[in-house]
Amino acid sequence: MSGTLVLVRHGQSEWNLKNLFTGWRDPDLTELGVQEANAGGKALKGYGIKFDVAYTSSLIRAQKTCAIVLENVGQSGLETIRNEALNERDYGDLSGLNKDDAREKWGEEQVHIWRRSYDVPPPGGESLRDTGARVWPYYMTDILPRVLRGEKVLVAAHGNSLRSLVMVLDKLTKEEILKVNLATGVPMVYRFNADSTVASKDVLGDMSGAH
């Protein structure tokens, strides 16, 4: 009896569109973001999956994506657990800044290091490693046990909180994960063996839309 874990990055947010560092700030989905979430939900409906529980972050863009996906698979009333452990990486002093303005202020190389290094946090914020340090324990104590009981679990969250999970699930090094971008609204379906290792992974859509 193996369980299934589905990861979905939220659809485009208003601040994605404006090229702003978002982090723990709470902008809503754009019209395109809603369309992306609907596309992900339709892909999962076509895949034929029904969920036992859903998890999402404390941020509206992930919560709305979660709700839209569940609506598309005909499970609008499903138990949905919200926890800030699944929130996006905290960008600290960069939050709310335009990425081009940040490059002007700190220099392109420094901003690139903050965005793409594994363990260098921006001022007042989190690195990818810091993000993983809160995502992984929550996954191990709350999400994984349900998957191992044979349940089908949906997690709708964010680019970096999900990248920290993908790093573990796909057994990527800290160098390899830096090259991984997750497309908005594209579900990744993991099936598990009884010993908690990954048996298979299906990506339901085009990952080339990642940014």
Whether the CB-CB separation of 171 and 206 falls below 8 Å is answered with no
Our answer to whether residue 88 is catalytic in this structure is yes
User: What's the number of CA atoms in the CB half-sphere (13 Å) around residue 48?
Assistant: 0
Given 31, 71, 84, 88, which residue is catalytic?
A: 88
| 123 burial type by CB count under 10 A (0-12 exposed, 13-18 middle, 19+ buried) | exposed
Mode of pairing for the β-strands spanning 80-82 and 152-157:
unpaired
What separation in angstroms does the CA of 4 have from each of 19, 90, 113, 143, 206? Answer: 34, 28, 34, 11, 21
Our answer to whether residue 10 is catalytic in this structure is yes
Given 10, 36, 126, 158, which residue is catalytic?
A: 10
Q: Which residues are catalytic?
A: 10, 88
